[in-house]
Amino acid sequence: MKRITTILGATLAIFLCLSEVAQARTITSISPPTGLGLGDVLCPQVQTTVATPYPNNDNSIAPSPNQIVKFPGLSCTPITFKTTDSVDTPVFVVPSGGTTEYFFTETVVNNTSSSWDSFTFQIGFGVNDNFGSPELILVPPGFAIPNFDFSVSGADEKPTSSKFTELNQDGSFSLKWSGGSVAPGESVDFTFSVDIPDDLDGKNLYQSFTIRQVPIARSVPEPTPTSAFLGLLVVMGAGFAFKHKLL
């Protein structure tokens, strides 16, 4: 409850403090990633500047010419996970006058002790314990949120993964990959597109958003009562046979 209250308070502060001039956005820079899952904690802590040669280019049929290659940039690339906790990367934006689409490429390294059978991307606001997805925060009227962009009409480049084959797009703010595996020591490549839209009703309500990444370890199935019973019978049978042999 405390976390949700903090997120709501931060959202309200954004709503009250920022101007209401009609604007859209382009990405200007990317901050170093943070989070309990981050493996390379000694990586350079520098801001990555982003160039946008084609602002307001929404619905590109080919990959957007506004490309962010090797996300997150100069700091902690590729992102290495030491645990399956989340890693958050803040992305900073400025007004542009239209909806701008970006094409991201990224490599992620599994430096945990577990194989991953899925991987999730989320868009939200704030980092670490203060991260909030759009479904959880109090969105003010006129608030238009960046979203993962691949339309059903096929007008946009679809996300790709080098290790996973199944993609579940949970609304516009989450991508969940599955149907594959990333073993400890292996890496996986991803591509995806993000739209940075106008706010509605002439508002400019935020200056940054967050891309959260979470690997999901392969689950070990719990033994069923039947399998546990059969295992016990095998152990008892082996013990009985050994005792009979001694006699």
- The residue extents of the domains of the chain are 25-221
Q: Which residues contact 223 (CB under 8 A, 6 or more apart)?
A: 231
Inform me whether the pLDDT recorded for 32 exceeds 50: yes
Q: How much of the chain, in percent, has pLDDT values that exceed 90?
A: 54
- Per-residue pLDDT band for 109 (boundaries 50, 70, 90) equals very high
Single-letter amino acid, residue 15: F
DSSP-derived secondary structure letter, 34: B
**pTM for the full predicted model:** 0.79
CA separation for the pair 129, 140 (Å, rounded): 22
Longest Cα–Cα distance in the chain: 93
Return the SS3 of 119.
strand
> Would you say 60 and 157 are in contact if contact means Cβ atoms under 8 Å apart?
yes
